[in-house]
Structure 1
Amino acid sequence: MKTPLSRLVWAFIFMAAGLSVQAQVSIRQRAPEAPAEVFGDPPRLVVGIVVDQMRYDYLSRFWAHFGEDGFKRMIGSGFLSRNHHFNYAPTSTGPGHASVYTGAPPAVHGVIGNNWFDKASGQDVYCAGDSTTTSVGTSSDAGQHSPHRMMVTTVTDQLRLHHQMRSKVIAVSLKDRGAVLPGGHTANAAYWFEGGEKGHWISSSFYMEQLPAWVQKFNASDAAEKYRRNWEPAEDINTYLESGPDNTPYEGIIDGEVAPVFPHKLPDLWEANGRFGLLRITPYGNSLTTDFALEALKEEALGKDEITDFLAVSYSSTDYVGHWYGVNSKEVQDTYIRLDQDLARLLKELDRRVGKDAYTVFLTADHGAGEVPAYLADQGVPAGYLDGAAFREQLTEYLQYAFGTPELLRNISNNQVFLDHDLMRNLELDPEIVERRIAEEILGYDHIVEVYTAHQMRSTDYVEGLAATLQNGYNQRRSGDILFVTDPQYANYSRTGSTHGTPHIYDTQVPLILYGQGIRPGSTTRRTDITDIAPTMATLLGIAWPTGTTGQPIGEALR
Structure 2
Amino acid sequence: MKKIFALLITSIILVQCIAIKAESNPTTTIEKQETTLNKTNSKSPKLVIGIVVDQMRYDYLIRFYNKYGEGGFKRLMNKGYNLNNVHYNYIPTYTAVGHTSIYTGTTPTNHGIISNNWYDKYEKKSIYCVDDDSYETIGAKTGGKKSPHRMLTTTILDQLRLSQNMNGKSIGISIKDRSAILPAGHTANAAYWFEGGNVGKFITSSFYMDKLPSWVDKFNNSGVANNYLEKTWNTYYDINSYNESIIDDNNFEKPFKGKSAPSFPYNLSELRKVNGNYDLLKAVAFGNDFTTDFAKATILGENLGKSKYTDFLAISFSSTDYVGHRFGVDSKEIEDTYIRIDKNIEDLINFLNTEIGSDNYTLFLTADHAAVQVPSYLKTLKIPGGYFDNAAFKKYVNSITFKHFNSENIVENISNNQLFLNTKIITDLNLDILKVEQVLVDEIINFTNVYKSVSGHTLQATSFNSGVLQKLQNGYNQKRSGNILFVPKPTTISYAHVGSTHGSGYSYDTHVPLIFYGNGIKQGSSDKDYPIVDIAPTLASFLKIEQPNGTSGKTITEVLE
3-state DSSP class of the match of 2:224?
Answer: coil
Contact in 1 for aligned 2:450/2:486 (Cα 8 Å) = yes
Correspondence for 2:92: 90
Q: For 1:146-202, what per-residue CA distance to the aligned partner results, in whole angstroms no more than 9, with x for missing partners?
A: 000000000000011111111101111000000000110011010000111231000
1:223 equivalent in alignment to 2:234: no
One-letter code aligned to 1:548: G
Whole-Å separation in 1 of the counterparts to 2:9 and 2:276: 95
Contact in 2 for aligned 1:97/1:181 (Cα 8 Å) = yes
Correspondence for 1:459: 461
One-letter code aligned to 2:507: I
Q: Which residues in structure 2 correspond to 1:180-329 (within 5 Å)?
A: 180-228=181-229, 229-329=231-331
Correspondence for 1:170: 171
Whole-Å separation in 1 of the counterparts to 2:268 and 2:12: 92
Correspondence for 2:422: 420
With normalisation by structure 1, the TM-score equals 0.97
Q: Quick check: 263-272 or 365-374, which moved more?
A: 263-272
3-state DSSP class of the match of 1:488?
Answer: coil
Q: Which residues in structure 2 correspond to 1:62-141 (within 5 Å)?
A: 62-140=64-142
One-letter code aligned to 1:214: W
Give the CA deviation at 1:27.
Answer: 2.1
Give the CA deviation at 1:20.
Answer: 4.8
Correspondence for 1:41: 43
Picking from 458, 481, 486, the partner of 2:488 is 486
3-state DSSP class of the match of 1:407?
Answer: coil
Whole-Å separation in 2 of the counterparts to 1:10 and 1:460: 64
3-state DSSP class of the match of 2:266?
Answer: coil
Give the CA deviation at 1:432.
Answer: 1.4
Contact in 2 for aligned 1:176/1:192 (Cα 8 Å) = yes
Whole-Å separation in 2 of the counterparts to 1:507 and 1:219: 35
Give the CA deviation at 1:21.
Answer: 3.6
Aligned CA-pair RMSD: 1.6
One-letter code aligned to 2:324: G
Q: For 1:42-97, what per-residue CA distance to the aligned partner results, in whole angstroms no more than 9, with x for missing partners?
A: 11000000000000000000000101110011111101110000000000000000
Whole-Å separation in 1 of the counterparts to 2:88 and 2:49: 21
Contact in 2 for aligned 1:128/1:145 (Cα 8 Å) = yes
Whole-Å separation in 2 of the counterparts to 1:248 and 1:21: 84
Contact in 2 for aligned 1:326/1:371 (Cα 8 Å) = yes
Whole-Å separation in 2 of the counterparts to 1:470 and 1:17: 63
3-state DSSP class of the match of 1:501?
Answer: coil
Correspondence for 2:374: 372
Contact in 1 for aligned 2:144/2:203 (Cα 8 Å) = yes
Structure 1's unaligned 5+ residue stretches are none
3-state DSSP class of the match of 2:431?
Answer: coil
One-letter code aligned to 2:378: L
Q: Quick check: 544-553 or 36-45, which moved more?
A: 36-45
Cα gap change, 1:244/1:13 in structure 2, threshold over 3 Å: closer, same or farther?
closer
Correspondence for 1:476: 478
With normalisation by structure 2, the TM-score equals 0.97
Whole-Å separation in 2 of the counterparts to 1:255 and 1:34: 63
Contact in 2 for aligned 1:44/1:303 (Cα 8 Å) = yes
Give the CA deviation at 1:38.
Answer: 5.7
Whole-Å separation in 2 of the counterparts to 1:297 and 1:162: 21
Cα gap change, 1:11/1:440 in structure 2, threshold over 3 Å: closer, same or farther?
closer
Structure 2's unaligned 5+ residue stretches are none
Give the CA deviation at 1:22.
Answer: 7.2
One-letter code aligned to 1:302: L
Give the total of aligned pairs.
555
One-letter code aligned to 2:79: S
Give the CA deviation at 1:26.
Answer: 2.9
Q: Quick check: 507-516 or 415-424, which moved more?
A: 415-424
Correspondence for 1:355: 357
Correspondence for 1:550: 552
Whole-Å separation in 2 of the counterparts to 1:52 and 1:35: 39
Give the CA deviation at 1:24.
Answer: 5.8
3-state DSSP class of the match of 1:475?
Answer: coil
Cα gap change, 1:28/1:385 in structure 2, threshold over 3 Å: closer, same or farther?
same
Whole-Å separation in 2 of the counterparts to 1:539 and 1:40: 16
Cα gap change, 1:336/1:13 in structure 2, threshold over 3 Å: closer, same or farther?
closer
Correspondence for 1:333: 335
Q: For 1:422-459, what per-residue CA distance to the aligned partner results, in whole angstroms no more than 9, with x for missing partners?
A: 22122221111111110111100111111111111000
Q: For 1:266-306, what per-residue CA distance to the aligned partner results, in whole angstroms no more than 9, with x for missing partners?
A: 11111111111101110111110100110001110000123
Contact in 2 for aligned 1:40/1:540 (Cα 8 Å) = no
Cα gap change, 1:10/1:433 in structure 2, threshold over 3 Å: closer, same or farther?
closer
One-letter code aligned to 1:221: S
Whole-Å separation in 1 of the counterparts to 2:199 and 2:446: 51
3-state DSSP class of the match of 1:267?
Answer: helix
One-letter code aligned to 1:77: K
Give the CA deviation at 1:19.
Answer: 4.9
Which stretches of structure 1, 4 residues or longer, exceed 4 Å deviation after superposition? 4-13, 36-40
Whole-Å separation in 1 of the counterparts to 2:433 and 2:82: 46
Contact in 2 for aligned 1:435/1:481 (Cα 8 Å) = yes
One-letter code aligned to 1:157: D
3-state DSSP class of the match of 2:343?
Answer: helix
Contact in 1 for aligned 2:140/2:199 (Cα 8 Å) = no
Cα gap change, 1:174/1:445 in structure 2, threshold over 3 Å: closer, same or farther?
same
